[in-house]
Structure formats: structure tokens, C-alpha cells
Amino acid sequence: MAHKKLLALIGAALLMGSGTQSFAATTDGSEGTTSTGISEVEVTIPELVKISKISGFEGVNYTGAGGGVDLTDDICIYTNMDSGVGTNDYKVQIDGSYDAGSGATAGFKIASSATTQTVDFTVAWNDVSNSNVGESAVAASGNEVLLQTGWSNVLNCGGAGDIAANTTARLHIAATQANLMAVKAGVYTNTLTILITPTP
């Protein structure tokens, strides 16, 4: 029986505008029959990003039939970057953490502290949802996938639910039948941390 926990952290590189806008100075009025003051308003909005609609892979019961475990999670990536300007994109870093009885260890393995055994699994990220075609393998914990442009400019991708129309990316994990059948019965877990960073 395989059990999978997925956590996600949201990462954003906040890039402030380098240009300076000219405003009339904020000034007080002078005394008289009327008096006019000026109050300027300036708000800087940095590059922002949000990852949402993560379902995770908890409660997976492996029966041994039908091969290994192959799981996908369609996810929403929101950003306020303009997709029509320059080379705006984002990068994703995925870190795995497991505990086989001797403390947290980085890596893409599900582990049981009771049996002290581990099972390797693979991780991939796709720039579109609802498909594994064209996905990028994440070879090791902490590696990055660059030049991703599958995002929405609408917060939470514009709707409820994880249907393709409301998601923009896919997380894909898999473990082989041989590896899953080679360990003792138990609950095997890993925590994946997903860091999204805009790179305008």
C-alpha cells in the first residue's frame, strides 16, 4: 500500500520596476477663500505568482495488479506577468523529503519509518494540464524546470474544480511494480515541495 502526501510552497521573485514616474509634488494648499492641496497616489505591483488547486496523492491503495503506480495532478499557476512581453516565463523547483526511520532525507522516494524501506519514484512537470505529452522530467530533488509559460492571468485560473479549463500545469509521479512489490507492507510517504518563481 502506497501513501503519498503532497505539500506545496509558493515561491515568487518580486521584481520592482526600475523606471521612475513623474508626479506633481504632494503639496499643501495656501490660505485664502479657497485652498487646493495635492495628494499623489503611487502603488508598485511586483511580479506575483500563486500555485493552487493541488489535490495531492494521499490515500492511494496499491493492489499489485495492473503494473505500478502512475499518478497525475492538474494544477493552476496564476501570475500577473504579461505573456505578450519579452520572454516572460516561470521556473519550477521540486524538492522531495522522506523519512525511512532516521530523519528527513531529500530525494524522490516514498518511505516507511516502520519498515525502514524506500521505493524510488519519478517526477515530471508539464507546462499544460490534462496531458503527459511534452512533460519535463525532474531528475533529482531540488532540480528546476525552466522556461514554463503555462499560466493564467486570472486568479485561481478562473473557476472552481480541477478540470482542464481551470488548470494550467500537471505534476506527474510514477513508481514501478517491481519497486513497489520489493518492500514490506506499510504506509510509504514523501512530501513534495513545489516552488514557482516568475522569471520575466
Mind giving me the DSSP string for 122-151? EEEEESSSS--TT-EEE-STT-EEEEE---
Which CATH architecture is the domain 5-14+47-198 placed in? Sandwich (2.60)
Residues 6+ apart with CB under 8 A from 84: none
pLDDT, tens digit (0-9, with 9 covering 90-100), for 94-138: 999 999 999 999 999 999 999 999 999 999 999 999 999 999 999
CA 191 – CA 184 distance, rounded (Å): 20
Per domain, the residue ranges of the chain are 5-14+47-198
pLDDT in tens, 150-197: 889 999 998 766 665 789 999 999 999 999 999 999 999 999 999 999
Phi-psi label, residue 97: left if phi above 0, alpha if psi -120 to 50, beta otherwise: beta
Find the angle CA(170)-CA(69)-CA(8) to the nearest 5 degrees: 40
